[in-house]
Amino acid sequence: MSLLEVEHLRVEFATEDGAVIAVKDVSFTLEAGEILALVGESGCGKSVTAMSIPRLLSGDDLTLGGSVRLNGVDLAALSERQMQEIRGKEISVVFQEPMTSLNPAYTVGHQIGEVLRRHEGLSRRQATARAIDLLELVGIPDPRRRVQSFPHQLSGGMRQRVMIAIAVACQPKVLLADEPTTALDVTVQAGVLDVIQNLRDSLGTAVILITHDLGVVADVADRVVVMYSGRRVEQAPVQAIFSRPQHPYTVGLLGALPARAVTQGGRRRLTEIPGMVPPPTSDPDECQFHSRCPRATSACTLERPPLGEVADGHLVACYHPGPGGHSAR
């Protein structure tokens, strides 16, 4: 049994323009101490996938399908009160926007301490002491003074470290990091990733890292799930994704990386993926990528390609898998 098992997850939002299916039949597992990257462009459903794990999505217009099991326990079957026991303690989240994800009216010490008081029954004084330790753990200098700071007195990188301190305060089994470095300066990004990696190493926390930055993936991830238009299109160990990508979409993403730019007539050139993501309102029985795919054949529009294993632990949903030959354009 894996630590976390996501099976056939489906997330649907009712909107004025009809149902938007943000996540379609996504399954994956997460082992203890593992860093799994969810990769894809904006709107591919990677954040929605992650947020539905601790049931942070809510609203009357939301329909969830499939199951999420933590240590074998189906989270969908828990009451809201039971779920509150899990959030922040077993599963916690680092959000993308450090500027707005902290409450401007409370000190960072209070906001870190709150989760400790909630789950570990600490007193205010004990919680503050632990908050100071946590600030030190995530690499904030002068934590004794900083614990009294308000979010607006900290830089973006510092705030994200505070977010991480909140997330790891109760030593969760699973950490969901939703684009944790996207809003930060490049120079600060590496530091924040280091903190996440160190926590994995020291506490054995499993991490789901949501990102569209393949450089980040190469740095820290153990396994990668590539999502496209709400579906899982490829899944593999990180080395395999970079050395032997199979899905043309993955190949296209890698081609858009500056370090892998194609040399053309003496000039290095980035390749883009032509076309647009299909609207999330429709879900026809075909490969959703076919309209943008250089390898597309008539088979791709007749039936959706199933996920098949091309190598050990390497899954791909494509009729024409293979590492080479992305768009010539």
Partner 1 sequence: MGQFILRRSLASLIVLFLASIMVFLGIRALPGDPALVLAGESPDAATIAAIREQFGLDAPLPVQYANYVAQTFQGNLGISTKDRIPVADILVERLPVTLELTSLAILVGLAIGVSAGIASAVRRGRSTDYVATGLGLFGLSVPHFWLGLIAILVFAVKLRVLPASGFVGLGEDPVENVRRMVLPALVLGTGLSAVIMRQTRSALLGQLSADYVRTARSKGLSRSREIRHGLRNSLTTVVTVLGLQLGALISGAVVTEQIFVIPGFGKLTVDAVLSRNYPVIQGAVLVTVTGYVVVNLLVDITYAYLNPRLRLSGASE
Stretch that binds partner 1, among 7-15, 96-104, 134-142, 318-326 (CB under 8 A): 96-104
Give the H/E segment covering residue 25.
strand 18-30
Total residues binding partner 1 (CB under 8 A) = 32
Task: List, in sequence order, every beta strand (DSSP E) within 202-313.
Answer: 206-211, 223-228, 231-237, 262-264, 267-269, 308-311
One residue of 16, 72, 104, 186 binding partner 1 per CB under 8 A: 104
Output the smallest distance, CB 105 to partner 1, in A. 4
Q: Does 141 bind partner 1 (CB under 8 A)?
A: no
Asked if 64 touches partner 1 (CB under 8 A), the answer is: no
Interaction of residue 163 with partner 1, rule CB under 8 A: yes
Pick out residues in 67-86 that bind partner 1 (CB under 8 A): 80-81, 84-86
Of 120, 139, 150, 218, the residue at the interface with partner 1 (CB under 8 A) is 150
How far from the centroid of its chain's Cα atoms is residue 263's Cα? 32
* DSSP track, 299-321: HHHHSPPPPEEEETTEEE--SS-
Report the residue from 88, 109, 230, 245 that binds partner 1 according to the rule CB under 8 A. 88
Q: Which residues contact 325 (CB under 8 A, 6 or more apart)?
A: 248, 251, 294, 295
Q: With H, G, I as helix, E, B as strand and everything else as coil, classify residue 196.
A: helix
Based on the shown chain and the rule CB under 8 A, indicate whether residue 115 belongs to the binding site for partner 1: yes
Neighbour tally for 135: CB within 10 Å: 25
Q: 89 or 244: whose CB is closer to partner 1?
A: 89
- Strand pairing partners for 36? 208, 223
| Interacting residues toward partner 1 by CB under 8 A | 54, 56, 80-81, 84-89, 92-93, 95, 97, 100-106, 111, 114-115, 118-119, 150, 152-153, 163, 166-167
